[in-house]
Amino acid sequence: MLKFIKMDFYRVSRQKSTFIFLAIVVGIVLMTLGATRLEQELLNSDLLTAEETQIFTSTMEMTDSADSGILAGGIGMNVNPSLEWMDPDSEVPVFEFAEQPLKGGMIAILIMVYAVIFGYAERRNGYIKNLVGEKHFKAKLLLSKMSVVAVFTAVVFLVLYLAMMLFAPLIMMNSISYSISGDMFLAIIAQYAVHLALGAFTLLLTIIFEGTTLPIVIGTLLSMGIFGLLYNLINSLILKLFDKAVSVANYLPSGQLRLMNGGAADGDISRGFIVAGVFIVLYLILACFIAEKKDVK
């Protein structure tokens, strides 16, 4: 098992794609900050009429107050900063602001695409055939891939927060706060666990479909909130059949993606950890089982 992990980490350190993905993270940070700065300048200029300003702020308030399913961040990769941050005299907590690309699904898409590409590498280049003599080699290789995805996800989070801390004072009109509360720290760890669960899901998809196209498409749609439409349909069916209001998204990693934030209640954060942990284990068990049953092509 250890030699698989060493082999994979050696490959990661030599691949240009790893550093390209990390550069994209920095680009996402700059895009998020730039979009917010443009909104600040627009709201604090004379370009909008009073009615247009009211419509603009009302839309932001509606988006900011959405709490679950496809309403939490909407459908698509959205940047939804708090309305109070539009005031140049307000103070922006950098760790809370960094939640925008996380809840918007941009970082999740990046991690899921990386997991698919890296997870399918051996099958694409035929190297996996050289490992046939190793007992349970496919399960060991899969677990090694998961360890790489876990470390890569941690590095992505580190780059995200460091880039946000570095560029926020240079781009934003506000003063920046670098303080972090205990709840915010737990929310960040919970977000990491949720993103890791999504990475494990895409590894499972590469085993099932034996390719990269479908896993990437499904992962992208999942991160963008498209599946929220399906969740709402299931919620309606449960309500109709059992007369019980349930939010399916609350019990899935893709739903937790938009719920984990510094303002979440302790129970919500705990649920995020539990949901992520359960699905990581479930995805890996299924992936290892399916991989061991499939023949090497």
pLDDT in tens, 184-223: 888 899 999 999 999 999 999 988 888 888 999 998 888 8
Query: Does the pLDDT at position 291 exceed 50?
Result: yes
Tokens 């399913």 locate to: 69
Q: How confident is the model at residue 246 (pLDDT cuts 50, 70, 90)?
A: confident
Q: Is residue 74 within 8 Å of residue 63, measured between CB atoms? A: yes
pTM of the model as a whole: 0.82
Q: Under 8 Å CB-to-CB from 115, ≥6 apart: which residues?
A: 145, 149, 199, 200, 202, 203, 206
Where are the chain's structural domains? 2-293
The tokens of 156 are what? 């992505």
Which of the two residues, 144 and 52, has the higher pLDDT score? 144
Tokens 């107050």 locate to: 65
Alpha-helical (H) ranges within the chain are: 2-14, 16-43, 50-65, 94-97, 99-103, 106-119, 121-125, 137-171, 182-209, 213-224, 228-242, 253-256, 266-293
Share of the chain above pLDDT 70, in %: 76
What SS3 class is residue 175?
strand
Mind listing the pLDDT tens digit for each residue in 146-187? 999 999 999 999 999 999 999 998 888 778 888 888 888 888
Q: How confident is the model at residue 69 (pLDDT cuts 50, 70, 90)?
A: very low
Share of the chain above pLDDT 90, in %: 24
Could you write out the DSSP letters of every residue in 3-19?
A: HHHHHHHHHHHH-HHHH
